[in-house]
Chain A
Amino acid sequence: MSSQNCRTRCIVLKNTDFGESDRIVTLYSPDHGRFTAIAKGAKRSQKRFVNKLEEFSLLDVIYRPAKYNRLHFLSEAELQEAFLSLRTHWQRYCPAILACELVLRFTREHDPDSRIFTLLHWLLHSLHNGTAHLPALVFFLLHLLDACGYQPRLKHCAACSCLPGQNKQLSFMFQPGNGSLLCPRCSGTTDLSRYSLSLQSLKFLQTAQKMTINQMQRLQMPEQVASECLFVLYSYSRYLLQCDIHSWSFLVQGIKKPISKKR
């Protein structure tokens, strides 16, 4: 191995065929952040890369950093975890691919954050093990926003500072434009009814915000609450990114049919 070569642990976010036999892979690593590499001969090789560069795979890779362009050269890849059930159960595939798209869109190249890697790895692992996908996705998105510096402010009304439940309000309105809450009195004539959060959903979000990955298993979030929270967080993410999140519409189809237990 040349001294120039780098070794890192990473998750495959996306892969694209390039030419007749090459593949371009986008990876997320805790040490190097998001980076893109070319795997020469990956489509034809029966030994080096076969079945390794697929989406969601956790790999140990050796690559030669790029000199003039942004594409690194992938020399070797060792498969650590494949999360096979994410491909064979389309209801698990939907949230997993949405998570990868969110990491792709929210991160910049070579801007590492080990929290994002841990969060993505945890989500893929949980989905693979049959954890209810909506609560897991809510937790992932909430903490991804936090890691990117866009933590939603859910403690009190942004205008009058009243606390949820203080004046017996049954729901609060979320403002995707600035990531904060408005109580029904302060929202006035502004039409934010689409982004309404029930008191129960708000309490779940506040609890989830304080929790660590290890504590997440304790959070028993009903599907209805998770759907409401997820829609609000999606709307906020869409506002921040100023573009469509393509995998969302496919996930919505999956929500209509609840996930089955691991077969």
Chain B
Amino acid sequence: MQVVPPPLERLITDLTRLPGIGQKTASRLALYLLRRPAAEALNLSASLAELHASIQLCSTCFAFSENDPCVICSDTRRNNRLVCVVEEPGDLMVIEKTNAFRGVYHILHGVLAPMEGIGPDELKVRELFYRAESQEIEEVLVATSSTVPGEATASYLIDHLTGMPVKVTRLACGIPMGMDIKYADEHTLAKAIETRQFVKG
């Protein structure tokens, strides 16, 4: 006997394909949508349908965008000689929120993960090297995470960019703002001391 109506079951199955969503959460979300007015579900389905039709990758920085080049790459007020290399589009949003960076970006769409079979060819690495060699770029800021794969990716990029006519910099690593140094781990603290800043004198 079919207890769950087939359309509801189909929706639950589709939702379980999303990251971090299991059978229980998918059932809860599907039932929530069913209880809400039909217009809300239609709006959601229209947004989903529009997603792939209207969003593409910017051919310069590989960010998700409605236009090619994207808003950041086509902004003439930004310094397009300074390129910040990030792992994911989410990292771009975090850096943009700081309002501290006025250059342009290059999104790798991942990090080196040899165990999963992800090497430089699976990322937008070749495109970065091409950009560094052929365009008028002065500085490449490598802003990958401070995790093992993030650091290994940064090391790979820095190693290959060193022979090119660009200045290569790396995101600073140290204690977070508002943190009591008693709680900082020894490696972060050591790095903070190693890369201390000159103030006066």
For residue A56, CB closer than 8 A to chain B, the reply is yes
What residues on B are CB-neighbors of A90 within 8 Å? 112, 152-153, 155-156, 159
- B115 CB contact (under 8 Å) in A79, A86, A88, A97: A97
What residues on B are CB-neighbors of A213 within 8 Å? none
For residue A98, CB closer than 8 A to chain B, the reply is yes
For residue A249, CB closer than 8 A to chain B, the reply is yes
Closest 8 pairs (CB-CB, A-B)? A247-B114, A87-B151, A250-B114, A246-B117, A93-B152, A90-B155, A90-B156, A55-B148
For residue B79, CB closer than 8 A to chain A, the reply is no
Interface size bracket, B side:
20 to 34
What residues on B are CB-neighbors of A246 within 8 Å? 114-117
What residues on A are CB-neighbors of B97 within 8 Å? none
What 1/0 mask marks residues of chain B from 139 to 160 whose CB sits below 8 Å from any chain A CB? 0000000111101111110010
For residue B183, CB closer than 8 A to chain A, the reply is yes
Interface on chain B toward A: helix, strand, loop, or mixed SS? helix
The count of A-to-B residue pairs whose CB atoms sit within 8 angstroms is 68
Which A35-50 residues have C-beta < 8 A from chain B?
Answer: 46-47, 50
The reply to whether B187 and A87 form a contact with Cβ atoms under 8 Å apart is: no
The reply to whether B155 and A88 form a contact with Cβ atoms under 8 Å apart is: yes
CB distance from A39 to the nearest CB of B (A): 14
CB distance from A54 to the nearest CB of B (A): 5
The reply to whether B20 and A89 form a contact with Cβ atoms under 8 Å apart is: no
What 1/0 mask marks residues of chain B from 111 to 134 whose CB sits below 8 Å from any chain A CB? 010111101100000000000000
- A14 CB contact (under 8 Å) in B115, B117, B176, B188: B115
What residues on A are CB-neighbors of B154 within 8 Å? 88
For residue B94, CB closer than 8 A to chain A, the reply is no
Cα A174 to Cα B146 in complex, Å, equals 42
Hey, which bits of chain A sit against chain B, CB under 8 A?
A: 14, 19-20, 46-47, 50-52, 54-56, 79, 82, 84, 86-90, 93-94, 97-98, 100-101, 104, 244, 246-247, 249-251, 253, 257
CB distance from A28 to the nearest CB of B (A): 14
Cα A59 to Cα B159 in complex, Å, equals 30
The reply to whether A54 and B147 form a contact with Cβ atoms under 8 Å apart is: yes
What residues on A are CB-neighbors of B179 within 8 Å? 46
CB distance from B62 to the nearest CB of A (A): 22
Q: Beyond A94-B114, A246-B114, is A52–B185 a contact (Cβ under 8 Å)?
A: yes
What residues on B are CB-neighbors of A97 within 8 Å? 114-115
Cα A168 to Cα B188 in complex, Å, equals 58
What residues on B are CB-neighbors of A257 within 8 Å? 159
